[in-house]
Structures are given as structure tokens and as C-alpha cells.
Chains A and B, each alone.
Chain A
Amino acid sequence: MIDMTPNVTLAIVVGVLVGTGVYLLLERSLSRVIIGVTLISNGVNVLMLIAGGAAGGPPLIGSGPNEEMADPLPQAMVLTAIVINLGLTAFVLAMAYRSWQLHGHDEVQDDLEDRRIARRAERGAVDRRADDVGTNLAIEAAEARDETEEVPLVTGHGPQLGAEDHEVKGERS
């Protein structure tokens, strides 16, 4: 049998990768988030390698003693995980680019509900009833103060508004 004791160096590498990844995941900018997700995924891939034990011989019957073969399964799983992560990273990057096209930044915006509550707190009108006439989530959210909206719109990249953006604008005027 190959040595199955976990390698301390690799374990520390996993810890550092996942730790930094979590830190980046908590950021607002999508590009930082995706770096964070990639770091965590790489950390998990290393974890998977630890699960397979120490390095051994090639896992081909006849190429050496069976007892010294490396476990091929974790490597196959790591390969699959890398491919999946590649695809998802590409998708999130595209989404970040689209967000930058639309808003001039790639930051994750506030939840509609959060913005409504923030706005109410600002007005000091927390005790008003939820189904008061004239509360429209989309309009209120559009008017609400939001730190991600401070950045001026970058022109020249064709800020194409979607159908819903027009809708909100129309309702406001």
C-alpha cells in the first residue's frame, strides 16, 4: 500500500487557498469574487489529491507492483472539477463584463428588499404598513440610495438598457 498519511504542507496550502478565497468571495466586485471562487476550487482540488494519498506508480496493470500504484480516482475527479470550474468561471466573467457594459461597474448590487428597507430607515418611516398604497418595489429600489450607484455611467461602451430598465424609467417620469 502507498502511504496514506495526509501531507501537512499540502494541508496548509489548502487552508491558505480556501482562506484567501473566502476573503475575496466576500467582496462586492464580481471580478474579485471569481478570483476567490477559483482559489477555493483550486484549494478543494488539492484537498482531493490529499484524499488519494501520497504519489505512487502509474495506475496501469503490468507497469509495476499493484501495491505501489497511485489512486487514479481522485485525479479523474480533480480533472472533472477543473473543467467544470473553467466553464463556470467563463460564465461569471461574461456576466461581470455585461454588468460593466450596463452599469459601468461589475459590483453585486443590493437586494431590492434591502434597498427598500434602507430607504425607509432613512426616512424614519419604518412603522408604515407594508401594503400602503403607492409602495412599488421597482420604483423605490430605483430611487433608493445605493453605494454602488455613485460611479458615473461609462459612456462609449454603449450602455444598453434592458427592457426592464426602460420600464422603471417610464414609471418614474
Chain B
Amino acid sequence: MTWLVPLPVVVPLIAAGLALAMSRRPRVQGAISVAALSIVLAVAIGLIFVTHTQGPQVVNVGGWSAPVGIALVGDRLSALMLLVSAIVLLCVLLYSLAQGIADGNEGAPVAIYHPTYLVLSAGVANAFLSGDLFNLYVGFEILLAASFVLLTLGGTGERIRAGSIYVIVSLLSSVLFLISIAMIYAATGTLNLAQLSERLLEIDPGVRLVLQVMLLMGFAIKAAVFPLSAWLPDSYPTAPAPVTAVFAGLLTKVGVYAIIRMQTLLFTDGALDTVLMWAALLTMLVGIIGAVAQDDIKRLLSFTLVSHIGYMIFGISLANQTGLSSAIFYVAHHITVQTALFLVAGLIERRGGTTSLEKLGSLGKFAPALAILFFVPAMNLAGIPPMSGFLGKVGLLQAGLELGSPLALATVAGGLLTSLLTLYAVVKAWNKAFWQDAPEKLPGDSTPRSMFGPAAVLAALGVLFAVVGGPLYHYTDAAARDLQAQTPYVDAVLVHGDRGEGDSDAAGGDDG
């Protein structure tokens, strides 16, 4: 079943080309995008079953065997990430299509929207599947270039302002990533992740630490880990609602995924675990304090996004199986919930005419459906039992107590406090937007029912994660076990000891 692995990258890229060719026919474009992302979703479901039952699936691109050519690897972790991202991408696409129909395509007027969106999805999939460090870089660049275009869509003054900060920060993080790739190649002579996990153990610990710090810096900027998170709350809220939603849900999580991969496969000696845990604690607290101070619902949500990245980093920094498993669970939960909240914020903006909490009001009376739609994911984000946010947080706190070091206990306390403050922040938004009397008359209702659908699906999915919490934790436990053991991944890539399947006759000088 290895033929499934490249499809999530190939299908959206081909569809992007087709959509670009059809740029004069928006309806055809929409159909192409929906079809492509549905295929990706089906493939992701298939991959989950295959990787869960048969172990990691490896494709050596072009038939060149692993350390020589580029490998695409789908294991339990990447299959789960692919599945969640495919669902989110499809829902957001349907939302933006509904918005386009409602506004006579003024919401997304540009022919470039669909192709760029598909390229973004290909980049995300490539980053999740890559078994090679340089290919991971290429995946990052694909999704970044697409995100630049989406963020500055329409080129209004406000978006250019926010976009220039985002673009420069992203370029800097890419450069850092590229420098670390060059240094890792100089130190080890390979960029294949499986081979790196063997060779990095052999080099000097000091050099290894430098490489780890460099890589971590690059990924931490992308994942918005404090103190490298200041760019996020300023740039995300200005984009169109669907774009913000998909960025908030997916792009930072690609950074988190890269950190998980790197901490479990490449640098396993735990040299930076303490630093990561401090970063996690500070990310949680600084992020949520920022959220409490905001009076704009989109900015508030951006700050909670930063804050909750801290939970995932905490799980990674614990470096035990429970911690990793809960971190993976939390990533899946948070992608859906955060995206749902941003979609709902888009709906609030349409219904209330603004996202400023000072100006909103009375929405509970005029739009009760919207109120429920906001309430469910908001409570889920804050971690109210019995929803999935609660399960994720409980797992992380348990893992922290298992480790039991003073810093881990402090971070557990910080996590509880963050959860409480998240509740405060979202309840404040809930009260001000839905229950206070509106200071001005609300504009007329222009929100089509079809825009509610995708947001409702995502909100329901966040709740569904709690219903299937047992099996899902079973799955993430297995994924975390695989990650920590390393052997399933490495053995699947390097089938013949130091080579993978495929063609590469060693012609003498053999150093990969």
C-alpha cells in the first residue's frame, strides 16, 4: 500500500495546476479543489489503517534507495497529522466557497485563491511525510510561499503591513533552518532522517548541541514558541477569516510536528529538555496573559493559539511516552478547535459587522445558533470536561506528575493556571459578544446557512475526539511508543541495514 504515501502531495499539486488553468471559471475551480482535498482525506484515512496495522510506509522517490534518494515516510504520527489537516483543509475550503457564493465572490475575488490553497495543502502534506531534512525544508518553503500569497490576498494596506512582518520573520526562520541543514550535512554527510538518527549519536556532543539549538530555533519561530512568538498575534488576524483559520490551525502545528520529529528521532539525549520546558511554561503564561488583555476577538484567539502551543511543547519536553502521546493528542484536538473558533469569529464578524468586543453585543438574542457554535469549541479550548481539551490536558498533567521534577510540577501548575485564564478570556468574549446589549444596531443578517456547516463540523469533531478518546489515546500511545523506540521508523526506511529499497549500486566511495 505504499502507493498511498505520495498522493497527499501529488494530488493537490496537480489540482493546483488545473485550477490555475481554469482561473476564469470559479465554479470549476471550486469543484477541482473540493475533489482534490476529498481524495487527500480518503488517502489519509487509508494511511491511518495501513500504518496502524502494517507499520510505517516508505516510498523511495524515483526508485533511488533511501540515503541516496529522497524518502517519503508515513508512520502513525504523520498519518494522524495528515488526517486531521485534510479534514480541516476541506472544511475551511467549503466555508470559503460558501462565503464566495454569498458575496458574489467578493470574499475571495482572486483567481489565485484556489491554486494557492491547494499548494499550501501540498506543502503541509510534504512536511508531514518527508523522511529527509532537505525535503522537509522544501515542504516548509512550499507552504510558506503559499501562505505569503494568502495572507496578503487583495493587497490592502492593512494586509501588506501585517504581511511584511510575517514574511520577513518566516524568511529568517527558513534561513536558520537552511544553515542548520548545511551544518548537519557537514557534520554527518547525510540528511536522511533515519540515517541521521544513527550518525548523530557518533558525533561530538558539543557539535550535536549546536546543531540541535540551530534547528530548534528555526522550528520554534514557525511554531510560535515564546520568546519567538511575537510575530503571530500581529499578522494572523488581518487575513480573510478562512485564511486565518487554516493558518492558525495548521501552520504552527507543522512547526510543532517538526519539533516532535527532531526531538524523538534526531536528538534523543534530552540535552535541551529543560530549556524546552521553560519555553513551554513561558509560552503558556505569556500567551494567555496577552489574550486576557485583548478586546478584539481575532487577536484574543491568536494569543490563545500561542499560549496553547506551550502545552504541546510541554508534552514534548517531558520526553516520556505519556507526555508524547498526550502532546500528539493535544495537537489533533487543538488543530480542530482553533480552526473552528476562527471560522466562528469570521461568522461573528459577518453577523455583528466587527470583531471588536466593545462594539459587539446582543448576538445571543439575534443569532442563537452562532452562540452555541462559539460556546462549544470555546469551552473545549478551555478544557471543560468531558470535552477533548480536558482529556488532552489531563494526559499532559499526568505525564508531568509522572516525571515529578520541580520544573515539571511548576509547569503543571502553569498549565492549570493557563487553562483557567483561557476560560476567563473566552467567557469574557462570550459575555461581551453575545450577552451585553449591543452599543449600536447590528447590521442585517447576510450569513448563509452553508457557512455554518463547516464550522459546525469542526466544532463537532472537537467533541467527537472526546467520544473516541479511548481509541484515539490508544493510537497516540502506539505512535509515541514508535517514536521513542525509533526502530520501526529507521528499519522501515533502511531495509537493508544501511540502504533502503530501490536502486543505488554502491560505486566505490560510499558515504551517502
Q: Which residues of A contact B (CB under 8 A)?
A: 1, 6, 25, 30, 33, 37, 40-41, 44, 47-48, 50-52, 61, 66-67, 69, 73-74, 77, 80-81, 84, 87-88, 91-92, 95, 98-99, 102-103, 108-109, 111-113, 130-131, 133-137, 161-165
Contact = CB atoms under 8 A, between A and B. Distances in A.
B179 A44 contact: yes
Given A134-B358, A136-B359, 18 more contacts: A41-B178, A48-B178, A66-B507, A77-B134, A80-B134, A88-B141, A88-B145, A91-B167, A99-B160, A99-B164, A102-B155, A113-B233, A113-B234, A133-B358, A135-B295, A137-B295, A161-B156, A162-B154
B397 to A, nearest CB: 30
B149 interface: yes
B160 A98 contact: yes
B195 interface: no
Contact of B178 (A44, A103, A162, A164): A44
A39 B50 CA distance: 45
B509 interface: yes
Contact of A164 (B148, B158, B181): B158
A81 B154 CA distance: 28
Contacts of A50: 182, 186
Interface of B: 134, 138, 141, 145, 148-149, 152, 154-161, 163-165, 167-168, 171-172, 175, 178-179, 181-183, 185-186, 191, 233-234, 238, 293, 295-296, 299, 356-359, 507-509
Contacts of B299: 137
A88 B171 contact: yes
Contact of B293 (A25, A130, A136): A130
23 contacts: A25-B168, A37-B175, A40-B175, A44-B175, A47-B182, A47-B183, A50-B182, A61-B507, A66-B508, A73-B191, A80-B134, A91-B145, A91-B149, A92-B167, A108-B165, A109-B164, A113-B233, A135-B358, A136-B359, A162-B155, A163-B156, A164-B238, A165-B157
A95 B167 contact: yes
A28 B435 CA distance: 43
B462 to A, nearest CB: 28
A44 B182 contact: yes
A10 to B, nearest CB: 12
Nearest to B296: A137
Name the 8 nearest CB pairs between A and B, nearest first. Answer: A162-B156, A66-B508, A51-B186, A164-B158, A48-B182, A47-B182, A51-B185, A109-B161
B67 to A, nearest CB: 10
B163 A111 contact: no
Most buried by A among B171, B191, B293, B295: B171
Given A48-B182, A95-B152, A112 B234 contact: yes
Nearest to B432: A131
Contacts of B296: 137
Nearest to B156: A162
Contacts of B191: 73
A131 to B, nearest CB: 5
Given A80-B134, A164-B157, A111 B234 contact: yes
B interface, over-half SS? helix
Given A92-B167, A99-B164, A131 B234 contact: no
Nearest to B294: A130
B156 A108 contact: no
B168 A33 contact: yes
Nearest to A37: B171
Contact of A67 (B152, B161, B358, B508): B508
B7 to A, nearest CB: 23
A63 to B, nearest CB: 12
B357 to A, nearest CB: 8
Most buried by A among B182, B299, B357, B507: B182
Contacts of B186: 6, 50-51
Given A102-B157, A162-B156, A95 B163 contact: yes
A77 B509 contact: no
Given A33-B168, A88-B171, A98 B155 contact: yes
A118 B206 CA distance: 43
B175 A74 contact: no
Given A80-B138, A112-B234, A162-B155, A47 B179 contact: yes
A64 B238 CA distance: 58
Contact of B172 (A25, A77, A164): A25
Given A102-B160, A108-B165, A165-B156, A136 B509 contact: no
Contact of B295 (A6, A47, A61, A131): A131
A52 B190 CA distance: 11
A66 B363 CA distance: 74
B168 A108 contact: yes
A92 B158 CA distance: 16
Contacts of B145: 84, 87-88, 91
A48 B182 CA distance: 5
B164 A95 contact: yes
Contacts of A103: 157
A114 B238 CA distance: 16
A62 B179 CA distance: 33
A48 B185 contact: yes
A130 B141 CA distance: 38
A166 to B, nearest CB: 9
A77 B181 contact: yes
A48 B134 CA distance: 12
B183 to A, nearest CB: 7
